Amino acid sequence: MPLTPAVDPSIADLDPARALFIDGSWKPATTTFEVRDPGSGRVIAAVADGSASDARSAVDSAAAAWTSWRSTAPRTRADVLYGAYERMRADLDRLAGLIMSENGKCEADARGEVTYAAEFFRWFAEEAVRPGGAFGESPAGGTRTIVTHRSVGVAALVTPWNFPAAMATRKIAPALAAGCTVVLKPAEETPLTAMAIARLLEEAGAPPGVVNLVPTTDAPTVVSTWLSDSRVRKISFTGSTNVGRILLRQAADRVVNSSMELGGNAPFIVTEDADLDAAVQGALVAKFRNGGQACTAANRFLVHEAVLEDFGARFGAAVETLRTGPASDQRAQIGPVISAGAAARIERVVAEAVQAGARVSHRAPLDPDLTGHFVAPQVLRDVTPDAAIASEEIFGPVAPIIRCSSDEEILTVANQSESGLAAYVYAGDLQRAMRLAEGLEAGMVGINRGLVSDPAAPFGGVKQSGLGREGAREGMLEYTETQYFSVDWPNQG
């Protein structure tokens, strides 16, 4: 099928009909699928639709390349990653444009994502040359123990649409740094950004087969093909908890090493001694970055009753000023949600909350002429701790506020979720903030900050938010197996 004209200049130098990147070549598939701009609904590209046989070819290529990539000097691997970092920075405008086209993010969010995504290449270029290890004498004497970290092998990477660049680089960079080769399946909604990333790794000198890309509309087939292949030794998945469970079950058959970055339900806590101006600014970032479509997005605001009215009024007033619009609207702060289905789901969640007794206290205006999938930013008050909206991931620009009357109640409500990814605490007294933070069942806690993502920090969750960490040194260890040598080494007389 011929390629739909690449109407958007930012994708003009990609060839989406040849989106399969296998063994260093860009290949077509037997069919294509359409990618749409969620801000307008218009088709922006027809992308090669990978099959099970393409998935197998990608593993053939990655397995062959692993032999030499794992023994390539760490400095050489680092140079490829650093080259990718430099290219990504230099190409920021085009990559941000690409994300705006296929994901719908507003410009500031898209630029922020590219900058964040590039940092994973830089950080892991720096980590690649510090593989670490240990040397020690055994307690009984007479032997020495040498501990090394060796690349695990071919890694299957599966990424979501909400951060199409950063979720890919957060996996590819540590995998390559550790000496793994990768097969990547991007989300069906956002394959073009993944193409651009594979292209810049190719340009930075990644040898053929080290990075392979298989966009598809048949994720279950492509990913299960990988998980049943004995050459695939690692699955790293970012996405919903439901799909994570499916993949963990499949991984169990061959006991595949698994890293899971799953859904969140972040509490945003405001105590009565918090700096409310700072809390409102932090709340806007934690809730509305990316239109609320972030796994770290504040999902429930737990506010002490002494500051409930004040915080609610100030936060609500700020929310009412948020401008929603397509990425082409340079003044837009909130973009569309990813699909009509997502918009309908969010509206349903709000309607159910209102039926259960909540009220919409503040709502930003929405231009009735908008044609994409838009949801008005809004604040809900009188939400009870056990309301459905407080237990499911909203993934949109809706902020439910729950009244709490003590730190103990705050912790009980915060921890009653099965998720435990991010949490946020705003408190005036740092000791109090730390006491709350230590009581939270969450992998990451922002303290007087509305943002926790940092390539140099270990990102990940507890409970059903996942297994393992990305970023930091921990992120590279996820792509290694520990091996030790026990060496006969008699003590000197």
Instruction: Please state the φ and ψ torsions of residue 371, each to the nearest 5 degrees.
Output: -105, -15
**In whole angstroms, how close is the CB of 486 to ligand NAD at the nearest point?**
37
State which residue, 69 or 395, has the beta carbon closest to ligand NAD.
395
- Based on the shown chain and the rule CB under 6 A, indicate whether residue 5 belongs to the binding site for ligand NAD: no
Candidate residues 239, 372, 400, 450; the one interacting with ligand NAD per rule CB under 6 A: 239
Strand-strand pairing, 32-36 and 43-48: antiparallel
Residue of 180, 295, 470, 478 with catalytic role:
295
For residues 236, 343, 287, 412, the Cα torsion angle rounded to the nearest 10 degrees is -80
Strand-strand pairing, 398-404 and 422-426: unpaired
Q: Which amino acid is at 201?
A: L
CA distance 460 to 238: 10
Task: Write the burial class of residue 428 (CB in 10 Å: 0-12 exposed, 13-18 middle, 19+ buried).
Answer: middle
- Based on the shown chain and the rule CB under 6 A, indicate whether residue 423 belongs to the binding site for ligand NAD: no
Q: In what order do the strands lie in the sheet with 211-213?
A: 25-27, 20-22, 211-213, 181-185, 154-158, 232-238, 257-261, 466-467
String of contacts with ligand NAD for each residue 284-303, x by CB under 6 A? -----------x--------
Candidate residues 161, 288, 374, 479; the one interacting with ligand NAD per rule CB under 6 A: 161
- Based on the shown chain and the rule CB under 6 A, indicate whether residue 159 belongs to the binding site for ligand NAD: yes
- Does the annotation count 203 as an active-site position? no
Q: Which stretch binds ligand NAD (CB under 6 A): 171-179, 236-244, 362-370, 399-407?
A: 236-244
State which residue, 246 or 356, has the beta carbon closest to ligand NAD.
246
- Based on the shown chain and the rule CB under 6 A, indicate whether residue 466 belongs to the binding site for ligand NAD: yes
- Based on the shown chain and the rule CB under 6 A, indicate whether residue 446 belongs to the binding site for ligand NAD: no
Q: Which stretch binds ligand NAD (CB under 6 A): 50-58, 96-104, 161-169, 284-292?
A: 161-169
**In whole angstroms, how close is the CB of 392 to ligand NAD at the nearest point?**
10
Q: Which stretch binds ligand NAD (CB under 6 A): 58-66, 115-123, 240-248, 374-382?
A: 240-248
- Based on the shown chain and the rule CB under 6 A, indicate whether residue 219 belongs to the binding site for ligand NAD: yes
Candidate residues 263, 335, 400, 471; the one interacting with ligand NAD per rule CB under 6 A: 263
- Does the annotation count 404 as an active-site position? no
**In whole angstroms, how close is the CB of 333 to ligand NAD at the nearest point?**
20
- Based on the shown chain and the rule CB under 6 A, indicate whether residue 475 belongs to the binding site for ligand NAD: no
Q: Which stretch binds ligand NAD (CB under 6 A): 31-39, 45-53, 59-67, 234-242?
A: 234-242
CA distance 32 to 29: 7
- Based on the shown chain and the rule CB under 6 A, indicate whether residue 251 belongs to the binding site for ligand NAD: no
**In whole angstroms, how close is the CB of 106 to ligand NAD at the nearest point?**
18
**Start-to-end Cα distance in the chain:** 78
- Based on the shown chain and the rule CB under 6 A, indicate whether residue 310 belongs to the binding site for ligand NAD: no
- Judged by CB under 6 A, the number of residues near ligand NAD is 28
- Based on the shown chain and the rule CB under 6 A, indicate whether residue 57 belongs to the binding site for ligand NAD: no
- Cα distances from 380 to residues 97, 148, 202, 299, 359, in angstroms, run 33, 52, 47, 11, 6
Q: Which stretch binds ligand NAD (CB under 6 A): 83-91, 171-179, 260-268, 471-479?
A: 260-268
Residue of 202, 261, 393, 478 with catalytic role:
261
String of contacts with ligand NAD for each residue 357-396, x by CB under 6 A? ------------------------------------x---
For the annotated catalytic residues, the residue numbers are 261, 295
Footprint of ligand NAD (CB under 6 A)? 158-163, 167, 185, 187-188, 219-220, 223, 238-240, 243, 246-247, 261-264, 295, 393, 421, 461, 466
